[in-house]
């Protein structure tokens, strides 16, 4: 969320990958350019820092120059269930130096969001096409949306068919990280990388003014020390299902994880 968090992620990503012995790193970048969208230069920088796949959400098109970029860079995803003929791709399968295959899919929910194809129908289509074990050794789903109930329902719809279903969009980390009954790791929202002395990453004064109906200037990204928020997923090499899910929070105003 904004420059300071973006710079911190870029600076720390390689070290975090080594610290956690991560086989793959996924970063949601949809608010990385001043809080609204992502630019080609930013996407390139995050990929160069060590990210394997970049996901987005409803702000993916906020910077017009990203349209041509996303048609050439398959590692930058837009939501899978955007209408047919939308530029870019909603999923990718990447392979690391060990030969491990990770499928990453990006979906956007329907409740309280702009109109897109039905997320459950699209999810079924994707999971029918990309099978755990056959097509990928692990499957990660970024589910971008507002309603906690809808995101939880998507987790159960994918349970046993995906390694992890992790929510984004609300910018607030939830405390419901767990492994669902059939082996899929789930969290309703992993939170933002950004300054939490803010209102979802924006300076409080203008945001409060909007709620009061009293204009206080344009929304600006908060510039204090960012908290890096994320989640670590461990999977079984034999099944691709999750064996552990561990929240990650470091720096800034939120309580820290080890």
CATH number of the domain enclosing 150: 3.60.21.10
Domain that holds residue 102: 2-250
- Could you give phi then psi for residue 187, rounded to 5 degrees? -150, 135
Plot region of 207 (φ>0 → left; ψ -120 to 50 → alpha; else → beta): alpha
For the segment 142-183, what is each residue's pLDDT rounded down to a tens digit?
999 999 999 999 999 999 999 999 999 999 999 999 999 999
Q: Does residue 193 register a pLDDT over 90? A: yes
Mean pLDDT of the chain: 97
Q: Does residue 216 register a pLDDT over 90? A: no
Q: What is the pLDDT of residue 87?
A: 98
pLDDT above 70 covers what percent of the chain?
100
Which of the residues are catalytic?
59
DSSP bridge partners of 247:
231
For the segment 39-96, what is each residue's pLDDT rounded down to a tens digit?
999 999 999 999 999 999 999 999 999 999 999 999 999 999 999 999 999 999 999 9
For the segment 94-148, what is each residue's pLDDT rounded down to a tens digit?
999 999 999 999 999 999 999 999 999 999 999 999 999 999 999 999 999 999 9
Q: Does residue 258 register a pLDDT over 90? A: no
What DSSP string describes 64-107?
TTHHHHHHH-TTBB--TTSPTT-SSBSEEEEE-TT--EEEEEEE
Domain membership of residue 70 (yes or no) is yes
Q: What is the pLDDT of residue 174?
A: 98
**Structural domain total, the chain:** 1
- Could you give phi then psi for residue 164, rounded to 5 degrees? -155, 140
Q: Which residue has the tokens 């710079």?
A: 7
Rounded to an integer, the average pLDDT of 193-215 is 95
Domain membership of residue 258 (yes or no) is no
Q: What is the pLDDT of residue 89?
A: 98
CB contact at 8 A, 102 and 85: no
Q: Does residue 215 register a pLDDT over 90? A: no
Domain membership of residue 211 (yes or no) is yes
What DSSP string describes 7-31?
HHHHHHHHHHHHHTT-S--EEE-TT
Domain membership of residue 7 (yes or no) is yes
Domain membership of residue 146 (yes or no) is yes
Domain membership of residue 256 (yes or no) is no
DSSP bridge partners of 199:
202
Residue 125 has what DSSP assignment? H
Taking alpha carbons only, the member of 118, 116, 117, 128 closest to residue 158 is 128
Is the pTM higher than 0.85? The answer reads yes
Domain membership of residue 257 (yes or no) is no
Domain membership of residue 179 (yes or no) is yes
Q: What is the pLDDT of residue 78?
A: 98
């Amino acid at each position: 969320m904004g420059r300071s968090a973006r710079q911190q992620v870029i600076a720390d990503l390689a070290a975090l990958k080594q610290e956690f012995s991560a086989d793959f790193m996924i970063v949601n970048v949809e608010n990385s350019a001043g809080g609204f969208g992502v630019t080609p230069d930013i996407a390139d920088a995050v990929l160069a820092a060590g990210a394997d796949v970049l996901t987005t959400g409803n702000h993916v098109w906020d910077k017009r120059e990203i349209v041509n970029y996303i048609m050439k860079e398959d590692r930058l995803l837009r939501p899978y269930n955007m209408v047919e003929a939308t530029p870019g791709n909603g999923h990718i399968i990447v392979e690391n130096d060990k030969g491990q295959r990770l499928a990453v899919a990006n979906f956007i929910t329907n409740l309280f969001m702009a109109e897109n194809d039905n997320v459950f129908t699209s999810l079924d289509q994707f999971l029918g096409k990309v099978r755990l074990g056959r097509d990928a050794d692990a499957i990660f789903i970024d589910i971008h949306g507002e309603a906690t109930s809808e995101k939880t329902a998507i987790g159960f719809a994918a349970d046993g068919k995906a390694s992890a279903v992790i929510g984004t969009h609300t910018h607030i980390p939830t405390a419901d990280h767990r492994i669902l009954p059939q082996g899929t790791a789930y969290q309703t929202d992993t939170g933002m990388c950004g300054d939490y002395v803010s209102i979802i990453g924006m300076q409080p004064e203008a945001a409060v003014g909007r709620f009061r109906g009293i204009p206080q200037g344009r929304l600006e990204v908060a510039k204090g020390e960012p908290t890096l928020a994320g989640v670590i997923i461990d999977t079984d090499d034999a099944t691709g299902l999750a064996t552990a899910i561990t929240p990650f929070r470091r720096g800034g105003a939120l309580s820290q994880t080890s």
